């Protein structure tokens, strides 16, 4: 069995400030270590339970957060960026049996994480078919377009709750709860235990995680500055709704992700 892991950092246990997420900042090391251990715990559990091939995408910012020398054998890692609109799941293809998202976070406009955002902090809200659009939703559709179910999500409690309401088959592992600028987080040992436990549950539940793709994707995006909205409005198919907001419609996941890639 072959599993793809997409790993972000803002939803990992303990992480609470932007400085902790930026490669080169002194505070980054501890967060990167936590992200690494969370991914490692999931990889080891997968390998102990019948998975023989794992590819991990380091999907945060620089793409160079995971301390890759700590990953177990039979795990490959994709570092930096391959330029694909599949973004945080780039490298995924139809040969994978399942995908797992680690360290994911609440979307822009949601209060569940001090670092809530969707793809980039130049926007404050993205809507997709009347749902607040998170990175979880974007990449669950990306995976679904390749026939791959997302079977597990770890991150802040609010994105975990949202994912369960969207897809009742997905197994979640809430690492922390965000309130204002702070988090109430599990400690490392309990976080890793929960990830191991939920990984086993998720493997037993693969068949219940398929999502149906909509026929069309109606997207609107609110930017922090009118300049960003103006600039985005020049992309083919993108309309300016007001000073700060644009919208577009796509008929396929790939078209939607491609437009997203150029305007956020
Ligand atoms: Zn991130």
The arrangement of secondary structure in 2-120+134-208, i.e. its CATH architecture, is 3-Layer(aba) Sandwich (3.40)
CA of 59 to the centre of ligand 1 (A): 7
The whole-number pLDDT of residue 230 equals: 98
Extents of the domains making up the chain:
2-120+134-208, 217-263
CA of 206 to the centre of ligand 1 (A): 26
CA of 60 to the centre of ligand 1 (A): 4
CA of 9 to the centre of ligand 1 (A): 5
The whole-number pLDDT of residue 37 equals: 98
CA of 158 to the centre of ligand 1 (A): 16
Predicted structure pTM score: 0.97
The whole-number pLDDT of residue 4 equals: 98
Cα–Cα distance for residue pair 185/230, rounded to 1 Å: 39
CA of 216 to the centre of ligand 1 (A): 27
CA of 262 to the centre of ligand 1 (A): 18
CA of 32 to the centre of ligand 1 (A): 11
User: What would the pLDDT profile of 144-155 be if each residue is shown by its tens digit?
Assistant: 999 999 999 999
User: What would the pLDDT profile of 44-63 be if each residue is shown by its tens digit?
Assistant: 999 999 999 999 999 999 99
Question: HEC states along 105-139?
Answer: CCCCCCCCCCCCCECECCEEEEEECCEECCHHHHH
CA of 168 to the centre of ligand 1 (A): 25
User: What would the pLDDT profile of 222-239 be if each residue is shown by its tens digit?
Assistant: 999 999 999 999 999 999
CA of 86 to the centre of ligand 1 (A): 15
CA of 96 to the centre of ligand 1 (A): 23
Cα–Cα distance for residue pair 145/92, rounded to 1 Å: 11
Q: What is the mean pLDDT of residues 38-43?
A: 98
CA of 186 to the centre of ligand 1 (A): 19
| pLDDT interval class at 217 (50, 70, 90) | very high
Could you give the 3-state DSSP secondary structure of residue 103?
Answer: strand
User: What would the pLDDT profile of 73-129 be if each residue is shown by its tens digit?
Assistant: 999 999 999 999 999 999 999 999 999 999 999 999 999 999 999 999 999 999 999
User: What would the pLDDT profile of 168-199 be if each residue is shown by its tens digit?
Assistant: 999 999 999 999 999 999 999 999 999 999 99
Nearest C-alpha neighbor of 175 from the set 3, 6, 10:
10
């Amino acid at each position: 069995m072959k599993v793809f892991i997409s790993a972000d950092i803002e939803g990992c246990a303990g992480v609470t400030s932007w400085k902790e997420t930026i490669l080169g900042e002194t505070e980054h090391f501890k967060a990167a270590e936590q992200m690494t251990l969370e991914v490692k715990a999931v990889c080891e559990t997968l390998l102990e339970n019948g998975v023989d091939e794992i590819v991990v995408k380091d999907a945060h910012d620089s793409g160079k957060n995971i301390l890759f020398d700590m990953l177990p054998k039979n795990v490959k890692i994709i570092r930096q960026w391959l330029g694909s609109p599949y973004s945080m799941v780039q490298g995924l293809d139809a040969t994978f049996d399942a995908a797992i998202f680690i360290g994911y976070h609440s979307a822009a406009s949601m209060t569940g994480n001090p670092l809530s955002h969707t793809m980039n902090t130049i926007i404050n809200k993205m809507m997709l078919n009347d749902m607040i659009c998170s990175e979880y939703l974007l990449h669950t559709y990306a995976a679904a377009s390749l026939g791959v179910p997302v079977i597990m999500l770890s991150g802040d409690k609010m994105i975990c709750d949202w994912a369960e309401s969207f897809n009742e088959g997905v197994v979640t592992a809430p690492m922390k709860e965000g309130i204002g600028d702070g988090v109430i987080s599990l400690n490392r040992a309990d976080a890793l235990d929960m990830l191991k436990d939920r990984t086993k549950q998720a493997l037993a539940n693969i068949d219940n995680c398929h999502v149906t793709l909509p026929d069309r994707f109606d997207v609107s995006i609110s930017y922090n500055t009118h300049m960003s909205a103006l600039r985005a409005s020049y992309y083919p198919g993108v309309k300016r709704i007001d000073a700060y907001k644009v919208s577009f419609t796509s008929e396929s996941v790939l078209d939607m992700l491609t437009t997203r890639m150029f305007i956020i």
